[in-house]
Amino acid sequence: MDRRLFLVVALLAVIGFVVVPAVASAAELTGKVVSADAAKNTMVVNADGKDTTVTWTDSTKFTGGKEEDLKKDTMVKVTHEGGKASAIEIVAAKKK
């Protein structure tokens, strides 16, 4: 019984050392879309006066809208790691 408990605790520790840094390294970016290219799955977002290029994939989670809503001046919140988005929230779409 003690050996099983030790193995479970050791496994949880290893998972913690792998998962926690991966989650902690994700960055959030909130700003306006400068440009978007749906064919290339890329967009440039301006946040705090700095442009950042972000790409998305089929596994990127969209909330508040769809890929088609990523147009110039749309306000977005992007969770990304190294410019690859895991989540894109469309906060406010550009008014027509």
Output the tens digit of pLDDT for each of the chain's 96 residues: 577 877 777 777 777 666 555 444 679 999 999 999 989 999 999 999 999 999 999 999 999 998 989 999 999 999 999 889 999 999 987 665
| 17 lies in some domain | no
CA 27/CA 6 separation, integer angstroms = 34
Question: For position 94, what pLDDT does the model report?
Answer: 62
Count of the separate structural domains present in the chain: 1
| 3 lies in some domain | no
Question: For position 25, what pLDDT does the model report?
Answer: 61
| 8 lies in some domain | no
| 22 lies in some domain | no
| 9 lies in some domain | no
CA 25/CA 37 separation, integer angstroms = 26
CATH number at residue 47: 2.40.50.320
Which among 51, 49, 45 has a CA at the least distance from the CA of 30?
Answer: 45
| 13 lies in some domain | no
